Amino acid sequence: MRLVVDLNRCQGYAQCAFLAPEAFTMHGDEALMYDPQPDDAQREHVLRAAQACPVKAITVEGTDGALIAERAGASRVG
């Protein structure tokens, strides 16, 4: 699964680091370090972390009713 954190929004509340410690860790007092491609086994934890983020900074692929499967390679031409 792929995710990205908008670190302009992130204010270091660290909710994600409590809820999905495999994917999100604090680096120092405030900086967040995350795994942009955590194992699918982490999915439940990651989704809970995304929902709990007070500033809604976490985007997880496939949570907005969008397709997950499509990759650039799948429709590549030329």
| Residues at the contact surface with other proteins, assessed by CB under 8 A | 2-4, 6-8, 10-12, 27-37, 59-62, 64, 66-68, 70-73, 75-78
Nearer to other proteins among residue 19 and residue 34 (C-beta): 34
Q: End-to-end CA distance of the chain, in Å?
A: 27
Q: Tell me the C-alpha distance between 66 and 53, whole Å.
A: 20
Smallest separation, CB 51 to other proteins (Å): 16
Smallest separation, CB 46 to other proteins (Å): 11
Q: Tell me the C-alpha distance between 38 and 45, whole Å.
A: 10
Smallest separation, CB 50 to other proteins (Å): 11
Q: Tell me the C-alpha distance between 10 and 33, whole Å.
A: 11
